[in-house]
Amino acid sequence: MGRRGGVTAPTPGGDRVTRTPPIRPVVLCVLDGFGLAPAGPGNAVAAARTPVFDALWRGSPHATLAASGPSVGLPEGQMGNSEVGHLNLGAGRVVMQSLSFVQRTIDDGSFFENEVLTSVCDAVRQGDRTLHLVGLVSRGGVHADLPHLFALIDLANRRGVGRVHVHALTDGRDTPPDSARRYLGEVVEHIARSDAPARIASVIGRYWAMDRDARWERTERAFDAIVCGDAPHRAASADEAIAAAYARGETDEFIAPTLITAADGSAAGMVDGDGVIAFNFRADRARQLTHALLGDASWNAFDRCRTPRLHFASLMRYDRTLDAPFALEVPELHRPLGEVIAAAGLTQYRTAETEKYPHVTYFFNATVESPYPGEVRHMVPSPRVATYDLQPEMSAEALTDATIARLERHEDAFVLINYANPDMVGHTGVFAAAVRACETVDTALGRLVEATRAKGGCLLVLADHGNAEMMLDGAGGPHTAHTTNPVPCVLVDEPTGVTLRTGGVLGDVAPTVLELLGLDVPDVMTGRSLLVG
């Protein structure tokens, strides 16, 4: 299928693209966490009754896409995730990810000369205050990575900081649910090996400290522990804190805030003049706690126990609306799919429930917060439950209702919809719930296919990374993390004679959408269309 000629339209950068108004809309449907793997124990995708997806796979052009490792800008063997997936999907190229970018600066030494990081360390040293390192202590590589924390400890040591307190947020979501003891042990070993004046000052499950859905009561619990030294539990060591949490029935993600007392029995907090470096490199789950730390007197999401004046920096930029120093920023991405569609004078619709709304907007738009002209956004609230195994249907039905209504009433050229269920329920490790999540999405997909066909449109159905297809680990325990498995890509109601090529990656999807729309692919989009014929 070739690109069609037609009307020219200017782009914001002054370029021109040639377009023919699309005859029908293109719907990009992301089944989040719906990876492919052989059927067997723990594969909720294969175990689920998915007659709609199965029929599409049998009867439509389809292929598998690589969604992990270097294919999406990550290190070899590193699992993909929703942020990475949607960045690649929208950018139309392989995007170097923050994980790799930060590590490169550590490897070349520029990390240790970074002016933002060194200025925080120097201010703390000069004021004889404490440097607090706050972030996810994990080798999951999704939000943070242990070598980055080690580099910060080393940097503080080199700059002569006298006290470093590590506030360890435990994972259990992108890592096994009982792996925190191993990771915290690595931190303790690194501190001892480097003879740094550092210690672990608190242990808090990410459930509390890394909420992204305005459940501020969770953020408040983490804030109270980190800032005011007020937590429900205390322990003499990080290992003791983990052991006590497991005895209470808490896995890593849900560890209640626990203060690690100093030798004199005191617990850490923050005071005026202290420094804070937030070392998560991914923004979405770092924002709430950051806003709580930095918000001025008008900030009122909850009543803060204390508002110390801090020397703050984050490893990466968390929020363009937040006036806070950040150390590193990956190179800006130009001409993502949304911008190209807008420049052609076409409208587009982005929709997801709360959990994945940033991904279909901010991340898909190459970390641009504001919508492009003609870009309409709609968020359906995620259910207010503690964990999504309690409601694996999530908000899929309401999301589908709203999208069908949009299709029926408007003439959008492009629709992006994300179904969060396989990923969010997969993270709970509850197999039966993950099966139900996949079945729910299949039912919703059937309705979406019918509505798109009624509109005369075509669909690309795919996933951004794997998860629900692997619910058991090698020992038969729950597997709650993402996977490195390939993901499906199905072209529904394709143009006559068109098939999909093999060997594709997520960065090939945007050029594919543009070809279906009859729009030229910008030179900066180095991905290749998946269409053949």
Least confident range of 126-140, 191-205, 319-333, 441-455:
319-333
Q: Give the burial class of 15: count Cβ atoms within 10 A of its Cβ; 0-12 exposed, 13-18 middle, 19 or more buried.
A: middle
Specify the amino acid at residue 318.
Y
Mean pLDDT for 142-146 is 97
Which residue among the candidates 82, 202, 395, 529 is catalytic per the annotation? Answer: 82
The model's pLDDT over 312-338, given as tens digits with 9 standing for 90+, comes to 999 999 988 888 999 999 889 999 999
Which residues is 514 bridged to in the sheet? none
Domain 99-328, CATH number (from 3.40.50.720, 3.90.1150.10, 3.40.1450.10, 3.30.420.40):
3.40.1450.10
Quickly state the pLDDT bin for 490 (edges 50, 70, 90). very high
Residues of the chain with CATH 3.40.1450.10: 99-328
The phi and psi torsions of 322 (rounded to 5 degrees) equal -100, 120
Residues of the chain with CATH 3.40.720.10: 26-93+332-532
Q: How many CB atoms lie within 10 A of CB 463?
A: 31
Quickly state the pLDDT bin for 23 (edges 50, 70, 90). low
Q: What is the three-class DSSP state of 193?
A: helix
Mean pLDDT for 388-400 is 99
Strand blocks (E) in 345-486: 348-353, 375-380, 414-419, 458-462
Helices (H), 427-477: 431-454
The model's pLDDT over 414-434, given as tens digits with 9 standing for 90+, comes to 999 999 999 999 999 999 999
Q: How many CB atoms lie within 10 A of CB 107?
A: 11
**What pLDDT is recorded for position 12?**
40
Question: What is the token pair recorded at 480?
Answer: 């709650």
Active site residue 119: no
Q: Is 141 left (phi over 0), alpha (psi -120 to 50) or beta?
A: left
Q: Give the burial class of 38: count Cβ atoms within 10 A of its Cβ; 0-12 exposed, 13-18 middle, 19 or more buried.
A: exposed
Say how far apart CA 430 and CA 392 lie, in whole Å.
10
Q: Which residue has the higher pLDDT, 369 or 87?
A: 87
Q: Which residue has the higher pLDDT, 9 or 69?
A: 69
Q: Which residue has the higher pLDDT, 459 or 297?
A: 459
**What pLDDT is recorded for position 374?**
98
Least confident range of 188-192, 259-263, 523-527:
259-263
Cβ-proximal residues to 261 (8 Å cutoff; 6+ apart), any chain: 234, 235, 236, 267
Query: pTM (2 decimals)?
Result: 0.83
Query: Is the pLDDT assigned to residue 11 strictly greater than 70?
Result: no
Which residues is 352 bridged to in the sheet? 379, 418
- Find out whether 441 and 54 touch, Cβ atoms under 8 Å: no
Query: Is the pLDDT assigned to residue 18 strictly greater than 70?
Result: no
**Average pLDDT score over the chain:** 95
Give the residue carrying structure tokens 């201010």. 123
Say how far apart CA 359 and CA 350 lie, in whole Å.
10
The CATH class of 26-93+332-532 is: alpha beta
Query: Is the pLDDT assigned to residue 21 strictly greater than 60?
Result: no
Q: Of 25, 88, 169, 53, whose CA–CA distance to 505 is shortest?
A: 88
